[in-house]
Structure 1
């Protein structure tokens, strides 16, 4: 066998290997996108970095997360035509007065039925929220139990696990 033949064979094998690796990668990416497309999308709005990290680690495996650290960014994302399945928001956000971000969502024609969970350190939050002229689906006082949040999310998204009889 000539050195040229060996080089050509190696080149052919390398090209075939790269092609196979690329096909596997593309297939994996398509599968992941397909799985991600089936996940519900949750918009998280909070200006506290540690809370965003906690929520990301808690929810990112099961849901598509859109994380915004200001209500202005969240509203801009929504105005681009995006539609979350659920919103998790801090009660007091910068740039808007108290629950104005939530009020804007609830008064809109498109998002008034979107479930909203409020997280906050505000004292007597349930009483304050009950005085608001719109409905909030759930209120969790910070710090909260992560399993409580997961239960509330699952309930609001109607994702209760069904037992399938065989």
Structure 2
């Protein structure tokens, strides 16, 4: 069975590119912002991994990540942040909750796939704390 990935990316071109790159190996569901992603999660759709942009409309990455990490249902899902924002590493380091990995845009698709595999191979459950 394919691992499930929730992709949260507001830029249509990047969203389509990531779907193309990842959908051969993974079951990928794509949402345009954090609000849509939470509606998806609330329908009992629990992914093995979330890949998310940091700067998004309606619910940005910070708000979405905070909601994930303070929830009892979604707090253990590993998260990869993709961002073109300068200072993203420092911003993420200052948060009271952690992510699994951060990749700066533009990113190398092979590096992203390797990062995903590393996360899934870290523990028998696919989770990284």
Q: Distance in 2 between matches of 1:45 and 1:97?
A: 10
Q: CA deviation digits over 1:113-157, x for unaligned, max 9?
A: 110000011002111100011001100000011111001100111
Q: Distance in 2 between matches of 1:40 and 1:97?
A: 25
TM-score by structure 1 length? 0.71
Q: Distance in 2 between matches of 1:85 and 1:144?
A: 21
- 1:96 Cα deviation from its structure 2 partner: 2.3
Q: Does 1:116 align with 2:79?
A: yes
The within-5 A match list for 1:37-52 is 38-52=1-15
Which of 78, 81, 86 in structure 1 is aligned with 2:44? 81
**Count of matched residue positions in the alignment of Structure 1 and Structure 2:** 122
Residues 33, 59 of structure 2: 8 Å contact kept: no
Q: Distance in 1 between matches of 2:107 and 2:60?
A: 24
Q: Pairwise CA RMSD of aligned residues? A: 1.2
Give the number of the structure with larger relative contact order, counting CA–CA contacts within 8 Å between residues 6 or more apart.
2
Structure 1 gap ranges (5+): 1-37, 160-166
Q: Find the counterpart in structure 1 of residue 28 from structure 2.
A: 65
TM-score by structure 2 length? 0.90
Give the secondary structure class of the aligned counterpart of 1:123.
Answer: coil
Which of 57, 63, 73 in structure 2 is aligned with 1:100? 63
Q: Does 1:135 align with 2:98?
A: yes
Give the secondary structure class of the aligned counterpart of 2:95.
Answer: coil
Q: Distance in 1 between matches of 2:28 and 2:73?
A: 20
Q: Greater strand percent: which structure?
A: 2
Q: Distance in 1 between matches of 2:89 and 2:97?
A: 13
Which runs of at least 4 in structure 1 moved beyond 3 Å after TM superposition? none
Structure 2 gap ranges (5+): 123-129
Q: Greater helix percent: which structure?
A: 1
Question: Which of 1 and 2 has greater Rg?
Answer: 1
Q: Distance in 2 between matches of 1:118 and 1:53?
A: 17
Q: Distance in 2 between matches of 1:154 and 1:97?
A: 26
